[in-house]
Amino acid sequence: MGRQVTITAKIPEHLKKRLDSLEVNVSGLVRKALEQEVERAERARIQKLADEAGRILLRIPGEELVKAVRESRETR
């Protein structure tokens, strides 16, 4: 695991007491939640870019796309 940084968050005291009484690994829980959120945000970003690319490709006539694919295959 590379370099690590510290983050802080304020939570209600009663929640901290409950977490402690349940022996919840807060650091691990937060790390996992942040990793999942990053993955979700990255997937959403990729989906948005793919949607934009699809809209652009729809503006190109089909015969031009076919021609470009054929030319690409011939240059290999």
Residue 53 tokens read as 């690319």
Residues 58, 60, 64, 70: is their CA dihedral positive or negative? negative
In a domain, 20, yes or no: yes
> What is the structure's pLDDT at 13?
98
Considering the entire predicted model, what is its pTM? 0.71
> What is the structure's pLDDT at 74?
84
Residue 41's domain comprises 13-74
Domain count, the chain: 1
In a domain, 3, yes or no: no
In a domain, 5, yes or no: no
In a domain, 1, yes or no: no
- Give every residue of the chain whose pLDDT is below 50, as ranges: none
In a domain, 7, yes or no: no
> What is the structure's pLDDT at 62?
87
> What is the structure's pLDDT at 34?
98
> What is the structure's pLDDT at 37?
98
> What is the structure's pLDDT at 14?
98
